[in-house]
Amino acid sequence: MQFNELTPEEKRIIEDKGTERPFTGEYDNFYEAGTYICKRCGVELYRSTDKFDAGCGWPAFDDAVEGAVKQISDEDGMRIEIQCNNCNAHLGHVFKGEHITAKNTRHCVNSLSMRFVPAAK
């Protein structure tokens, strides 16, 4: 499998499971129509129609493209990590039971883990 070249900061997030500082990511306060794809492999991960403002400092989605994201318990057992199901790139974490949206789920994603593709006009 061939991967896109990553910057050192993207590698820190995607490969070393790092986290961006809150409210600094390119897609935190970004609401254009389109699709978010994995920065590492290019697979579609999220649709803009599932994005919402959670006020948490990271892009938040209440759903993922079917089969695109896998959930894995963190080593500490406290949180659930989300990864690209195609290339295992670290995306962030998922939180359930917060009652922020009707789907009751928040995928909290690092902007550096994704690339935005605008909807065709």
- Give the CATH number of the domain where residue 44 resides: 2.170.150.20
Range of the domain at 87: 8-118
Q: Per the domain annotation, does 3 fall within a domain?
A: no
Residue 60's beta-bridge partner residues? 52, 108
Q: Is residue 1 part of a domain?
A: no
SS3 65: coil
For the entire predicted model, the pTM comes to 0.94
Which tokens go with 109? Answer: 């994603």
108 classed as catalytic? yes
Rounded CA separation 22/110 (Å): 9
In angstroms, how far is the first alpha carbon of the chain from the final one?
31
- Asked whether residue 66 is assigned to any structural domain, the reply reads yes
User: What would the two tokens of residue 80 be?
Assistant: 């659930």
Write out pLDDT tens, residues 79-120. 999 999 999 999 999 999 999 999 999 999 999 999 999 998
- In the chain, how long is the greatest CA-to-CA distance? 45
Residue 46: how many CB atoms within 10 A of its CB?
27
